[in-house]
Every structure is written in C-alpha cells, then in structure tokens.
Chains A and B, each alone.
Chain A
C-alpha cells in the first residue's frame, strides 16, 4: 500500500496530492508519469509527476477532479492509502542546452511544467514559464517557477490575475517582438496544447506536448493510449508522453479520451 502524505486544495477543482512511493521517486526523471489506482476496484489513471523527493520517498501529483476515480482520490487524507502506484513510466525528456525554452502550463500542467523547467534550467537553458488559469486564485506554485525561471508570466482568461489572455497569446507577442525561443513544452488540456502547436508551427519552433489519453497498463501492452503522431500510431505510455506537437492528431486524441464517457457519466450520479 502507498500512503497519502499530503492533500492540499490548490484551486477549486485541483488538489496537490503527495503520495509515498519511494521506488518511483528514486528513479523519476522529467517528462515521466505514474499510474495510480485509488482502490482495488478503481480505474488506473496516469498522473504527470509534478515533483518528487528522493529522500522522503514521495511523489507529487496535481489531480483535477473530473470523475469518480479522481474524486475518490482527492477525498483521501494524509494517512490514508492508495492501492497502487506504478512508475516512473514513459520516456524521459531529451535534455540539452537548447538556448531558450518556453514552458506553457494550464490546469494540472501548472504542476506538470515544474520538473521540465527545473531540468531545462539545470542544463543551462534560459527558461520562460507561462502559466495560464481561468481566474484569480487558480495559480499556484509561483515559488517553484521562480526557482528555475528567468521569467514567469501569469495569465488569466478574465484578467483577474496577471495578464489577461492565454499563455499562447503572450508567447506570440514575445515571438513577434523578436524574442528567440528554441523549444516549447506544453502541459495541459488538449485544446491548449493544440493551439500552442498551431502558434509555433509557422515559427518552426520545436514544440513538445505531454499527451494525456486514457491509459491502462502503461507498459505498451494494451494499446488503450494509442495516438497518431506524424501519421504513425504511437503509444503515449512507452513512446511518450511528450510528442512533437506539430505532428499530433489532436482531434483523434480528443475523441479517444471520450471513449467511455457514457459509463463515466453514469458513475458520477
């Protein structure tokens, strides 16, 4: 069993969950994720590793409450246990000194960009972090961003905190000003990652997005997480989760994510 060490509500619909999983923490690298089962009957859900602590043997996830399993998870309190944590899974990110790296994070990606930024900074990159939220009170982890970012840009859709707009708008403005960006990493909902890819394509900036399809075993066996990248079928669990965002079939990803929507709705009642 894996003990829950912390549960903090970071936005009205998201919780920072810290779970004891020493083996995962020991091996985790930026870009990877872990699969978690709340109890022996619940779904296996992949969560992006937002942080980990080798000494404490803990991993941190940002969990959005979007259905039955996530709702069960965020209701756990420190001391409770989850049935299973499997990880780290997925390919670690390719790390190098690319020059300037832009991170775009939305919803759970506000946590998901942290290991990416930290690693990129350590490799000598200049890091600009764009974090978008719907409104005031939905930003978190500012201290973490500041520890690795050369610049942090907060945006809200309604302008109640930071700059009004989306992360991509500000990135676009910077690019138009002539700021050189060599890599973009996007973590968040498919729509946000898609529009980020659409923006950077004409600028020919290599852009990577962390895909988030439904996943089962996480080791390339079941194929539930298949997605189309550059007209090739890839498994997000073993080939990803980060893929070249310019080559991703976003509409297919969206449709696959909704494959079990009827059952998901029924268990929410």
Chain B
C-alpha cells in the first residue's frame, strides 16, 4: 500500500506502524521508547505526528498504517508538541548539562567521561557518548527548561552483579520492562511506585539475582539513558575498535559485537538484539580475559619452583622431556573450547610428531573431568584443568598450555600461557555442526599465544621445521580462506539465555565463576526464602 509522508508517496506494508515506515523511508521522527527489536509501547509520546482524519497528534509508533494515509511529521505544531514532551521528560532527569550554554566549551576541554559515584549531569554520566536523550535535546533544540528539574535523589543500586541501576537517570520509557517481558517468560523488571516514586526495577526491592534474572543484558543494551549500565564497561570511553565475532563459551555460537580499546576487550554484547544471549557471552568475557591471574609467560620447573623463561627455553625443555616418550606413552588432552585449528594442530602433533593414538578430546567440558589417562601413558600435554594433580604427579613429563594457574599445574614441568576466547582467531563448530568464524578482538596478556602457534613452535623446536611450517601454512590458509559466517538469523534464543542454570560452568576445565566473581552471585542468589517474600507481600502498602 501507499501512504503520503510529508508530501511524498512511500510504500508501506500491512501491519507496519507509521514510525517504522518513516524510518525505513529515511524520515527520522524523534522517538525514545520505540526500539525496532520489540513491539511498540507508546509511552514516551515523542513520535507524535499529524495524520489527516485523526484527531490531535497520534503517536506514530502505535498507529498502524492504512492505505492512502496522509502523514505530516515536521510541522511546527508537531515540533512544538515534541519539544514540550521532551521538556517534561527532562524535568525528571538530571538535565543541567543538557541545557548548559557552556556545554560546547566544556566538551572541548574534557571530551571524556568523568567517573562519579552518583551521576548528576552528562559530564559524569557513563552514557555520555551514546545518549538518546542528549541527541533529541540537540535535535529539537531544547536549550532551557520551563522550571528547574526535579532530582529523585535516591541511592543508585550497586549491589547487583554486572549491572548498575541509577533510578535518578531513568526517564521511565519502559524499554527495559518491555524487552524483559518480550525476551523472557517470567520478566524480572516491573514498574513500581507511582508519580515521583515510579521506578523501573524489581518488585519489593529484591535484587536481580533474587528475582531470577538471567543477566542477558538486553535491558542494558536498550536503555536510552545511563540508568542501566554495564559495570565493567561503564567508565570506558568510546571503543577504539568494534568487532563482530562468535562467542566460544559454548556451541550455541552466539554472534557478538565486541568493544576494544588498547588491545583489551571491555564489553561484548549480542549482535542480534532480537534475541537474548546468556550471561557468559554478555557479561563475563571482559572479566575472564582481563583477570590478573592469567598466565602471561612461559615457565619451566627448576628444582621445586617455576621460573619464567623465554619461549625458546620453554620449547627446549618440552622437547627434552617429550622426545624420549614418543609413541603410546604420550597423550594429549583437550576439550572442545579451542578452535578447530587448535585441535587440528593438537591432533597432528599427537599422531604424526609423537606417534601416539592417545589424542583425547573431551566431548563435554562439564562432567568428563577429571579424565582417566590410558594405561601406559607417562607423558601428557594438556590445554586445561582436566586431569587431577595426583595422576599428573605420577607421570614423567607434563606440558600444560593453559590460561590460568591450577593446582594440577603445580605438577607441570613446562607451563605455557595460552590465548583464549576473543584473543584467538579461527573457527568453532556450533551445535548444528556448522563452522563459525572467530575473530581476534583482543591482545593476549603478556607473551601468551594461541594453542596452534604454541604447538607449531614446539614441533619446530623438536627438529621438524618442515612439518611445523606446513601445518602453520595450512592453518593460516584455513583461517583466511574460510567462507564461514557469523550466525545472526537464528529462530530462537539459546537455552542458557533463557535458563541461567543451563550456562556452561567450565571453560578449559576451569570453573568460570572462580575467575569471574560476580558470576558466583548470579549462580547462588542471595535469595529471600518464600516466607520472607510472603511477609513482605503482607506489608506492602500499595496493594
């Protein structure tokens, strides 16, 4: 069908709303509560338009198109209504920086965000660079407020893992409440209180963990203000680079959009906002990668202590202890967290260089550990915490390629630091058996290298430079020449995104929550017992 938009005839489809048609046709109507990934709410009243035959100024996001509709979006009357509504929104938002006439000079002098415990203006707001309220204020040229703004003056909620909520900044647009309802069967965000006490939050002041939040982060992604913020990323400025890659925590293989600065990832979120992703992909990656416990340098055991050495010295030591144990006395143990290329290198090393059939790839990282080694094995190379310390202590040679120190690692003769997750490039196999590309987004800590690079280095040190070179070339060609694509068109959300008990708990044999402290709170919510919850219900004065 056709509708007339500001005098121009444009095509519209059955069931679309006026705002969708306008945005698709390149006509920008100011909007705050509308977001393309969820149904319209019609709460903010910013997208008002004039439509022939309809009284007043209907909200374009909740008005379904009809054939022949005549819509005007830019008349002076429409702009006035929008401006008035925005002013009303700004009155309950700390908006002094928005209407400050020195803001350009201030911006020029201090373009970065300034950290603050409680945000009282844009200058110290974590959303400074990406604020939709700010953008509309400029667009609608609001430079003053009819009266002074009202500051709610409540304590920001900083007790939840991963997410901070400052109700003082909330404009009650309802996006968070709506997306939570849209994404999950039992939403955890509700509107509480009335009038000046209205909040988008949790009933009875429960924490997010208590309400059963899955920490998919969709609410944070959609918040147009700084009210909901991601704790880790909060005070980082604009990223130097953004990447699109695949999450390697599990074989759901969610597509991620990743923010990086100075080689460090500080935020990762679902690329496709139409569906939620799990807490591991959304929130834990920066904590996991930037943990201070990461292994950063090759180490070898000298007497009873581990000494940091160069890669050459580490390879030399590994060669010395592995060479006498070629054949069935050697085993390689890894799980499926590594890229396809890493596992190809490991298998080649085991079978062709060491001449052993004991290439052990753990199917499921959860229950398979600790692994029982085949009889007769006296040397083992591992990529994680898969074999218990006692077993390792009884072996003649242990070479570890790992990212974190472990108790079992104490038995290693050679400990090599590995790059993991977003520090690696290659492919992973998703649950349907399709290869998905992984893009290197972050610099590995210290001298850490990706597994296949380490293995090629070791093969070379063991005297087979030709094979090492050939394998490295083969892997490089596989990575470069691949036509694998990132999955974005999935039909349903992965299970761990909907049920937090289904998230993967181990990566390379390490318990993820041990490396990401806030995850412990998610998994063991400091929940109110049923009795406590009931007693609170009976004392609620609102109902």
Contact = CB atoms under 8 A, between A and B. Distances in A.
B359 interface: no
Interface residues of B, number: 37
B263 to A, nearest CB: 11
A74 B117 contact: yes
Contacts of B148: 135-136, 156, 158-161
Contact of A66 (B94, B97, B116, B149): B116
Interface string B280-310: 0000000100100000000000000000000
B517 to A, nearest CB: 10
A195 interface: yes
Contact of A269 (B99, B149, B231): B231
Contacts of A84: none
A100 interface: no
A175 to B, nearest CB: 18
B109 A254 contact: yes
A261 interface: yes
B114 interface: yes
Which of A64, A156, A194, A264 counts the most chain B CB atoms within 10 A?
Answer: A64
A269 B234 contact: yes
Chain A: interface size category: 35 or more
B536 to A, nearest CB: 26
A65 B120 contact: no
B234 A71 contact: no
Given A159-B148, A262-B262, A134 B94 contact: yes
B235 interface: yes
B124 interface: yes
A264 B121 contact: no
Interface string A16-48: 000000000000000000000000000000000
A228 interface: no
A194 B153 CA distance: 30
Interface string A241-269: 00000000011001000100110111011
A262 B102 CA distance: 28
Contacts of A78: none
B168 interface: yes
A137 B232 CA distance: 30
A178 interface: no
B151 interface: yes
A155 to B, nearest CB: 11
A233 interface: no
Contacts of A13: 116-120, 124
B160 interface: no
B147 to A, nearest CB: 8
Nearest to B117: A65
Interface in B211-235: 231-232, 234-235
Contacts of A157: 96-97, 99-100, 121
Contact of A158 (B112, B114, B145): B145
Interface string A211-248: 00000000000000000000000000000000000000
Contacts of A67: 115
B116 A191 contact: no
B116 A65 contact: yes
Nearest to B95: A158
B109 A194 contact: yes
Interface string A121-132: 000000000000
B112 A258 contact: yes
A139 interface: no
Contact of A135 (B120, B231, B290): B120
B106 interface: yes
Interface in B116-165: 116-121, 124, 144-145, 147-149, 151, 153
A31 to B, nearest CB: 25
Contact of B151 (A12, A166, A251, A254): A12
Given A65-B116, A191-B110, A265 B102 contact: no
A138 interface: yes
A264 B112 CA distance: 14
Interface in B179-231: 231
A109 B124 CA distance: 17
A70 B114 CA distance: 14
Nearest to A158: B96
Interface string B76-100: 0000000000000000001111011
A86 interface: no
Contacts of A65: 116-118
A265 B115 contact: yes
Nearest to A68: B115
Interface in B49-100: 94-97, 99-100
B63 to A, nearest CB: 34
A87 to B, nearest CB: 24
Interface string A81-118: 00000000000000000000000000000000000000
Contact of A12 (B100, B110, B168, B287): B168
A214 to B, nearest CB: 14
Contacts of A158: 95-96, 99-100, 145, 148-149
A11 interface: yes
Contacts of B232: 269
A135 B116 contact: no
Contacts of A251: 109
A134 B109 contact: no
A158 B153 CA distance: 16
B236 interface: yes
A266 B100 CA distance: 30
5 contacts: A65-B117, A135-B151, A160-B96, A160-B147, A262-B262
**A-B interface, 6 closest residue pairs, ranked by CB to CB distance from nearest:** A160-B148, A65-B117, A157-B96, A158-B96, A134-B96, A12-B118
